[in-house]
Amino acid sequence: MRTLLFTLLCLLTGAALAAPVQPQRAYLSVIIDDLGQSPDRDARTLALPGPVTMAIMPDTPHATDFARQAHHAGRTVILHMPMDPATGPYAWHPGTPMPELEKRLNAALLRVPYAAGLNNHMGSRMTAQPEAMAWLMGELQRRDLFFVDSRTSAATVAAAKAQTQGLASVSRDVFLDDVRTTEAITGQLRLAVELARRQGTAVVIGHPYPQTLEVLERELPRLKAQGVELIELRQMIALRSNRAMPAHGKGGVYR
């Protein structure tokens, strides 16, 4: 009997040692904000390799033309919606009557055709407003648009309101270029890659700064060799299934 048990143990141990360890698949999505201001920077952003999402500000001179250009190039376009403390004709501010917020949203969407969704530009004050954020998520649901919480403030309730209403949404994990040097941006992208490996996915946001574009032009083609797949934003939303990442909540529920 002991001989039989020993033989089985050896067989099982050998099988375990022989079986290859399957690494966790890692996925990354990249969003570039503040587009529509400069044809040169817009064109350079559009030329980035892979399915990079174009977030276009409505109050920029080239918003409409670039949205059409990006859409026809097969890129995902989203509205980069100004929110307090941002200013301008489209910006949302706490205390603004709901009809005026709706009017500004409608006008902004007209300026950015083909928008598949929306993320907030600035918005540290506005995304902390529960009533307005709940209304916005319902409106996006009605229009069949998704939401990206840029998480410009720890006080944001936007993603939580989206989750409560079952709106397709996702939250940003890493900002690439708060420090505008190639060394710092490379470090932030490396952080995003490590996060993607650890939790399976990571969403990063950057801007069309020369330093950011230089890093992405160099590093995006290298992601696959690092075991990371660059995916389209809608695929990222589907993978996360509206669940909060550990930094954003507990048990998949946004704080």
Query: What is the extent of the structural domain holding 52?
Result: 24-254
Collapsing DSSP to helix, strand or coil, 172 comes out as coil
Band of the pLDDT at 24, cuts 50, 70, 90?
A: confident
Note whether residue 14 is domain-resident. Answer: no
Query: Is 101:13 a contact under the CB 8 Å cutoff?
Result: no
Note whether residue 4 is domain-resident. Answer: no
pTM of the model: 0.90
Note whether residue 13 is domain-resident. Answer: no
Domain total in the chain: 1
Question: CA–CA separation, 79 vs 92, rounded Å?
Answer: 14
pLDDT tens profile 46-78: 999 999 999 999 999 999 999 999 999 999 999
Note whether residue 8 is domain-resident. Answer: no
Cα Rg of the chain, angstroms: 21
Consecutive H or E run containing 90:
none
Residue 99: pLDDT over 90: yes
pLDDT number for residue 43:
98
Note whether residue 117 is domain-resident. Answer: yes
pLDDT number for residue 58:
98
Indicate the pairing of strand 253-254 with strand 249-250.
Answer: antiparallel
Q: Among 2-16, 146-160, 239-253, whose mean pLDDT is lowest?
A: 2-16
pLDDT tens profile 221-240: 999 999 999 999 999 999 99
Nearby residues of 34 by Cβ (< 8 Å), 6 or more positions away? 55, 57, 80, 121, 207, 208
pLDDT number for residue 6:
37
Note whether residue 36 is domain-resident. Answer: yes
Instruction: Report CA 65 to chain centroid distance, whole Å.
Output: 23
Find the distance separating the first CA and the last CA of the chain, reported in whole Å: 56
Percent of the chain with pLDDT over 70: 91
Residue 17: pLDDT over 50: no
Residue 4: pLDDT over 50: no
Question: CA–CA separation, 227 vs 220, rounded Å?
Answer: 12
Query: Is 170:233 a contact under the CB 8 Å cutoff?
Result: yes
pLDDT tens profile 150-192: 999 999 999 999 999 999 999 999 999 999 999 999 999 999 9
CATH code of residue 42: 3.20.20.370
Note whether residue 7 is domain-resident. Answer: no
Question: CA–CA separation, 188 vs 26, rounded Å?
Answer: 16
Note whether residue 208 is domain-resident. Answer: yes
CB atoms within 10 A of CB 42: 23
Question: CA–CA separation, 44 vs 206, rounded Å?
Answer: 14
Q: In this structure, what are the phi and psi dihedrals at residue 136, rounded to the nearest 5 degrees?
A: -60, -45
